[in-house]
Amino acid sequence: MENKVKELHYTDTIHYELEQTAKLMRKLSLQLFEKLNIDISIDECAALDMISCNEGICQRDLAKKILKDRANTGRILNALEDKNFITRAVDTKNNRLVKKVEITPKGIKELENITKKIRSYLESVTTAVPRDEMRKIRDILKSFRLNLENVVEMNI
């Protein structure tokens, strides 16, 4: 008798678990932003955080990092600029004109306030997993994501 390997259903794969976890985290974030009366969207917050970590990032590079197309990234940046959380300045990169994005002091303050508001809520969903295990999970997920970035075609 042959020893057959049981075929996994898609719902038994890491891919499914990651997808479902991401969807639930998105829902949690939406609920938190509404409950805590945070006046910017989750996407605006992610962009603002990414800009704070990458001063002078251009719109195209930001779009790649937040996984949004350039048009959506432009709308996000327009909203952040209207709120005086960022500034954009024309510069050159590889002999091309690009708009570099900088976070303003007001943007830094807003990001700090949001982080303070949501930190305890987000940490509460990870209490079942020890801190050192969370770091391992984060590192594994980051490695997985970086590998995906090399495989997935992104038209940004």
* CATH number for position 41: 1.10.10.10
98 is a domain residue: yes
Complete edge-to-edge strand list for the sheet that includes strand 57-58: 57-58, 96-103, 86-93
6 is a domain residue: no
Question: What is the domain extent for residue 28?
Answer: 14-149
The pTM is what?
0.85
Q: Which residues of the chain have pLDDT under 70?
A: 1-7
pLDDT given for residue 98 in this prediction: 86
pLDDT given for residue 96 in this prediction: 85
Domain count, the chain: 1
Burial of 117 (0-12, 13-18, 19+ CB in 10 A): middle
> Helix, strand or coil for residue 134?
helix
134 is a domain residue: yes
95 φ/ψ sector (left φ>0, alpha ψ -120 to 50, else beta): left
The span from the CA of 48 to the CA of 83, in Å, is: 12
pLDDT given for residue 97 in this prediction: 87
pLDDT given for residue 93 in this prediction: 78
